[in-house]
Amino acid sequence: MRRLALACCGALISSAAAAAGASSALSTTPIEHVIVLVGENRTFDNLYGVYQPRKGQTVSNLLSKKIVNKDGTPGPRFADAAQKLGLSAGAYTPTPEFNGVYGILPQPWAGGAFGQRQDVPDARFPSNLPNGPFQITHHVSYGAHTGDPTHRFFQMWQQVDGGKNDYFVWVADQTGPGPSNPYPTPMTPGRTLQGGVAMGFYNMSTGDAPLFKRLADQYAIADNYHQPIMGGTTANYFALATADVGYYTENGQAAVPPAKLIENPDAQPGTNNWYTEDGYRGGTYVNCADPEQPGVAGIRALLAGLPYRAFNDGNCAPGHYYMVNNLDPAYAPSGEPLPLGPDKFLLPPQSMPHIGDAMTAGGVSWKWYSGGRNDGKKLDKEYCGMCDTPTFFSSTMNGPDKDKLVDLMQFYVDVKDAASFPSVAVIAPYDSISGHPGYAMETSFDELVAGVMERVKANPALWKSTAILVTFDEGGGYYDSGYVQAIDFFGDGTRIPLIAISPWAKKGAVDHTYYDHASIAKFIERNWSLPPISPRSRDNLPNPVHGKADPYVPVNRPAIGDLMNLFDFSNARR
């Protein structure tokens, strides 16, 4: 639908890049540079839940749905977000049985929060919060360290509950990150350091997140952009680079991982949803092609009951154990292979293609900037190996593209020269400025975004041809009220923010097109005339067709957009 609208721009030439030889591929739009800046763990409602757009625009959030009022207090339809108690004994189900409704939220804990007690509920929050979303800054300042909600694969399927979004609290408080989680203390049923922390949100109407409010007012945001995989950081960063999911290998071939690393979310005997094997030092892989494997049958049944056919019938290849939770790469940042084993929690080297391979093949220059990468060999806590995604791939770590993986500090050097700046740049922050709940602060990520913008704008030759896409790896387990499209066995997950900052972005627009991280790959491919990454990657999906009855649900599901609706190229010179 949008391809014809861009035909006028196909002849635009990237003069600066062409003159310098930085990239041989020509963009089909005036956007010659894309910078993808990734924060961590915020759903759309967590950040934009009380955002009020410019006149003429509409947004789907807590305020527009009357779940909360402008001042953050419970609204007329507060009960629409009420959290329920579930019941799941025996075989795992993504849609647990209804077992009652919370009278009040269990008091939030400060699990993982820097400088806060971990062994008791967080006394900064009251013990009688109403059952629904609550404004975090009614109790602590914007930027304070607060608890880290549970955000793992099988848990999130249950939290979303087939689209009802009503088990966020129960799953987190009852199951947490699973029995194999030792941080900061071993988990036990009903003692998971969670409480109602997942229901917290910030309020732009009362001054929270002022930078993100200003960016939404001045540029374009999407209120239907999603994390592609249920769960946490590694799988979602991986999907950002591949529009796909990694899997366990031996000598480059699909293989069976050690038993301890295979997920088993079936409830332990005599418990209510206390998983058998799951957690940051346990289950990570699932063979979703085999309905006899724990956790598989329930999700496959949910997909089979959809009013449309899931992508590639679930996108599960026989004999493949897919990574659905966090692992680090099996290469050091220097390229040195790391020892593998059942206690190493590393994803073996991957041979599937990623977007960097596609860009290199198509003559599109790129770099991946990672905070702390120069110190990664020393296991610096500021370096997020699972965010340095090309490090997972043999094609990169054993080839010339390894030089395209650089420290974040190099960005501040490269951004000064528009002629040699890469066509595509991905920025993975230092851990402490990622905005991740618990050990980082949202305000620190705000400062990073502002700094990147400032430096790009300070170079007019670069700014006039750049789109900065600010998003988050995933929602971090926070509640969100938005629609979720089931695409395949792995997701989608909850909505997350996406902001398009560019001279070409529609001013103050709120785009309702359905997107996820594969949309960034689709944008790059369309902008530089590249093919999809692989036959099974989600960038093969069509752009959504949205009807008047519901602007958020594609009528041609499953479908994912290419982000072009965020931009206006009508004034581009021919």
Q: 245-293: per-residue pLDDT in tens?
A: 999 999 989 999 999 999 999 999 999 999 999 998 999 999 999 999 9
Instruction: Name residue, tokens 């955000």.
Output: 151
Residue 444's alpha-carbon distances to 142, 207, 369, 452, in angstroms, are 11, 16, 17, 13
The fold of 4-47+212-243+347-566 is Alkaline Phosphatase, subunit A (3.40.720)
- The answer to whether residue 380 scores a pLDDT higher than 60 is no
Tokens linked to 511:
């785009």
**The length of the chain, given as a count of residues:** 574
Q: Would you kindly state where each structural domain of the chain is located, as residue ranges?
A: 4-47+212-243+347-566
Name the residue with tokens 């991946």.
368
Separation of first and last alpha carbons in the chain: 21
Question: Can you read off the two tokens belonging to residue 529?
Answer: 């005339």
Confidence of residue 6 (pLDDT cuts 50, 70, 90): very low
The answer to whether 301 touches 225, Cβ cutoff 8 Å, is: no
What is the predicted pLDDT for the residue at 190?
83
Is pLDDT above 80 for 16?
Answer: no
Which helix (H) or strand (E) is 249 found in, with range?
strand 249-250
0.85 cut: is pTM over it?
yes
Max Cα distance, the chain (Å) = 70
CB-count exposure of residue 413 (10 Å: 0-12, 13-18, 19+) = exposed
pLDDT in tens, 145-169: 999 999 999 999 999 999 999 999 9
User: DSSP labels for 137-200?
Assistant: GGTS-TT---------HHHHHHHHGGGT---HHHHHHHTTT-TT--SSS--BTTBSS-TTGGGE
What's residue 15's pLDDT? 36
pLDDT at res. 22: 55
